[in-house]
Structure 1
């Protein structure tokens, strides 16, 4: 019997870069939050693993066996093969953890069907820094490279959110390479709303230098009366939080009319 699962879009309500490590990675402190929409995957038992990709952004993905969905399948033990179809609805290289979210969806379905090995967190981390957080897709704090997770008081669940992307992809390594090297300081303490309100994204300036359209999206979102506007992750997607659903849908409609080439997704925080 086929199962379906949403790969919930990830946003970084705040992303503080602390230092560049000797191994080339960066020490981070970030507040992960998740939107109640994203890519969609269907799963069915099969004699052997099969993977197909469809959807608006499927053409931007790696070949099937290089895709993170296939990599996730190959790293989790189970009793049968799985036929997986990915409806790619999130843009690629967009700061939404799209590939990591897809991997997280694979982990959740395999957990329901067969259970996960005790070291699933390590297996997830080897696929990507955002993958452990995306497996649970619940608001949390990430430290280290983002894989050291801590709980957080989530007082933003249900908050209307609008995601906007100019459709210009951004390379994560290129954005980190342009980081100014200044310690962004620790995340604020307290509930998720305070972290979002008092935090920042230390990669925003670097991303804007590489893709000036990021600044255009941020300016457009700030003109909507949103309660919080910020770039997510290493970009280029930006998000806006709203007090009510009508304000969010009105803002989405106006931005869509003024900038029809921009990608938009409406939702609520989980």
Structure 2
């Protein structure tokens, strides 16, 4: 069986407060691109994991990564040999590891069904994992695990992901947040939340990785419908009115910044 680990983006990400448990209270609008990593599985005597793909070598400890943990978290009557084709950059604000775990959950669901407590098992692996299991547009609250699926009026819109090939750890970005509550996420259609929302982690991420500002400026020069940083960075995304506009933007950025990573797709 083969499953895509769909890249996650945050169309909006509002940080409301620091919690006593060390986490942050969030309001976020998750969306997913119809492209990402690939997981393929086959029967095996015991669980095995191998990585390949452009960024497969950046997973220093494949047996301790989130896919291996997801394998241990879900009961199955036999072992699985899993091949992870890592197409998404690591530590990039795309929920790559969470998306991989989410894809594994869907594979288990397809073959055996998921246990009733799958949501809590997913949340124990990471705050983005429950949303990545669903891989559909939804609002996340709390630490991002309290999910509210929503009908998206942006489904199918062309999207371009751009990363300056610089990893950025989530913890230091959250630590750099100024602790000022800028207000709740807007209400209404997904398009309105995206346009009127914001990413409160953009400013602290740019302090740590100034190239993010360069990516946002370059995307802005392609006249997108919306350009914003995803998650805690460093990946940024741009939404376009049609495929032709996105393709023209991709060509322009590739010529101006040949070292940057790109991925084109559509929102699911």
Same fold (TM over 0.5): yes
What SS class does the counterpart of residue 229 from structure 1 fall into?
Answer: strand
What SS class does the counterpart of residue 266 from structure 1 fall into?
Answer: strand
Does the aligned pair in 2 maintain the 1:93–1:171 contact within 8 Å? yes
What SS class does the counterpart of residue 225 from structure 1 fall into?
Answer: coil
Residue correspondence of structure 1 range 3-22 to structure 2 within 5 A: 3-22=1-20
Counterpart in the other structure of 1:239? 237
Counterpart in the other structure of 1:156? 154
Alpha-carbon separation, structure 2, partners of 1:64 and 1:40? 15
What SS class does the counterpart of residue 71 from structure 2 fall into?
Answer: helix
Unaligned runs of 5+ in 1: none
Given the alignment of the two structures, is residue 73 of structure 1 paired with residue 59 of structure 2, yes or no? no
Given the alignment of the two structures, is residue 87 of structure 1 paired with residue 90 of structure 2, yes or no? no
Q: Which is worse superposed, 34-43 or 58-67?
A: 58-67
Counterpart in the other structure of 2:22? 24
Alpha-carbon separation, structure 2, partners of 1:192 and 1:79? 41
What SS class does the counterpart of residue 70 from structure 1 fall into?
Answer: helix
Does the aligned pair in 2 maintain the 1:156–1:192 contact within 8 Å? yes
Give 1:62 deviation, angstroms.
3.4
Per-residue CA distance 1:158-199 (angstroms, 9 max, x = gap): 000000000111110000000011113111111110100000
TM-align CA RMSD: 0.6
Aligned length: 268
Alpha-carbon separation, structure 2, partners of 1:123 and 1:184? 32
What SS class does the counterpart of residue 186 from structure 1 fall into?
Answer: coil
Per-residue CA distance 1:105-146 (angstroms, 9 max, x = gap): 000000011111000000000000000000010000000000
Alpha-carbon separation, structure 1, partners of 2:87 and 2:163? 12
Alpha-carbon separation, structure 2, partners of 1:158 and 1:62? 35
TM-score by length of 1: 0.98
Give 1:47 deviation, angstroms.
1.2
Residue correspondence of structure 1 range 196-235 to structure 2 within 5 A: 196-235=194-233
What SS class does the counterpart of residue 89 from structure 2 fall into?
Answer: coil
TM-score by length of 2: 0.99
What SS class does the counterpart of residue 165 from structure 2 fall into?
Answer: coil
Give 1:153 deviation, angstroms.
2.5
Q: Which runs of 4+ in 1 moved over 3 A?
A: none
Alpha-carbon separation, structure 1, partners of 2:108 and 2:151? 28
Alpha-carbon separation, structure 2, partners of 1:187 and 1:131? 21
Counterpart in the other structure of 2:54? 56
Alpha-carbon separation, structure 2, partners of 1:193 and 1:268? 15
